[in-house]
Structure 1
Amino acid sequence: MNPSISKIIFILGIIFWLLIRIPYQQIQKQNTIVDDRKTVQGKVVRLVVLIGILFVPLIYFVTPWLNKANYGLPIWANGLGIATFALSLWLFWRSHHDLGRNWSSTLQIREGHTLTTNGVYQNIRHPMYASVLLLCIAQALLLPNWIAGLSGFIGFSIAYATRVDQEEQMLLNNFGDQYEAYRQRTKRLVPYLF
């Protein structure tokens, strides 16, 4: 596949990814926060993810600065990248949809917050993180560049390593035994493994 086409597909996918979140951000603003654990570290981590998924690829698209890090991929890799991105977008949307009013982009518990264990949350505790991981895989398959293609993985790895345990602890504090039972019967990212 022409590298320009794979770049356009990636850009369109990112636009859809951003559009999915808009209605849920509007709902989030209407909720009353009862437990707010936002930190400067959390803001920095979110910025690192955005740099890896949005800004580094943007530099790759509009400048020749990263071209020395290009590598070749077989045509099937682009097809796999498109399919992976489509799955990522569906899982990202479905995660937001299933959470509804419980969704927050930061570590917060809202008034009337309930533990979501249905839909995609039935088997995966963190399907939104799984969707971002799939997006990073698609990024590597659609952007054949050692820097732009892999920068999403770096941002995701930092976010996953620093935030998931905090998120689970917050949910354990708020939902106690109910959350512990849920943790025992689900996987963090990939269902049916291990």
Structure 2
Amino acid sequence: MISLALAGKALWAFLVVGWYLLRRPFDRRARRSRLTVDRRPGADTLRMAISLTGLGIIPGIYLVTGFPRFASYPGHPMLLALGIIVGIIALVLFRLTHKALGKMWSVSLQLKQDHKLITTGIYKHVRHPMYTAFWCLAIAQALLLPNYIAGFAGIVGFGYLFFSRVGPEETMMSEAFAEEYDVYRASTWRVLPYIY
């Protein structure tokens, strides 16, 4: 019989592969687009590196080696089930956000030539559903990996990126779209409807 820890590791790996497969075609297309604003160099590169460490490197090391073993705890079926549910929500949100953004999607604080403000689809009520998806991914990681460090590293890593980036991103959008963005911002939630 497969152990709960091994099942959690396998499900986390499936989640990461699913995320990569959803994002890859958009990433390839985005690299060919001409940029009018690129704020990735510097602070945003550091933010992304910290997020990647928490959402990929630390749990990846745990997946392959079991390190750090001292921080492991017994898996629980309820945590595994919740992790599956939250992971599915993350993948669905990733798909919906990428589909809605299309050519406007970017991995960083960038605006494309002839960039349009997307306010339809999943963006109708939430300004940053991609961040919602990443929060779900980080929570799923904490639920699936029974290790206090590897499991919670995603919440810490992505949390740093989110709280240090969302303000500058909204400023960039306000500068680019002026009143159109201000009206949109006033009528939407940041990441979670009716809460934040």
Fold conserved between structures, TM > 0.5: yes
Please give the alpha-carbon distance, in whole angstroms, between the structure 1 residues aligned to 2:170 and 2:7. Answer: 39
Q: TM-score, normalised by structure 2?
A: 0.95
Structure 2 stretches lacking a partner, 5+ long = none
- Equivalent residue, structure 1, for 2:74: 72
Q: TM-score, normalised by structure 1?
A: 0.96
- Equivalent residue, structure 1, for 2:43: 41
- Equivalent residue, structure 2, for 1:169: 171
Deviations 1:68-117 (A, max 9, x none): 10123431111110010000011011111100111111111111110000
Please give the alpha-carbon distance, in whole angstroms, between the structure 2 residues aligned to 1:63 and 1:35. Answer: 41
Deviation, 1:192, is 2.1
Please give the alpha-carbon distance, in whole angstroms, between the structure 1 residues aligned to 2:77 and 2:31. Answer: 43
- Equivalent residue, structure 1, for 2:186: 184
- Equivalent residue, structure 2, for 1:13: 15
Greater displacement, 81-90 / 64-73: 64-73
C-alpha contact 2:4 2:75 (8 A) present in aligned 1:
no
Sequence identity (%): 35
- Equivalent residue, structure 1, for 2:53: 51
Partner SS, residue 72 of structure 1: coil
Deviations 1:138-178 (A, max 9, x none): 00110011100000011111101111111100100010111
Q: Would the alpha carbon gap of residues 64 and 108 (structure 1) be closer, same or farther in structure 2, given more than 3 Å must change?
A: closer
Please give the alpha-carbon distance, in whole angstroms, between the structure 1 residues aligned to 2:113 and 2:162. Answer: 26
Partner SS, residue 151 of structure 2: coil
Q: Would the alpha carbon gap of residues 64 and 37 (structure 1) be closer, same or farther in structure 2, given more than 3 Å must change?
A: closer
Partner SS, residue 37 of structure 2: strand
C-alpha contact 2:8 2:80 (8 A) present in aligned 1:
yes
Count of paired positions: 194
Divergent runs of 4+, >3 A: none
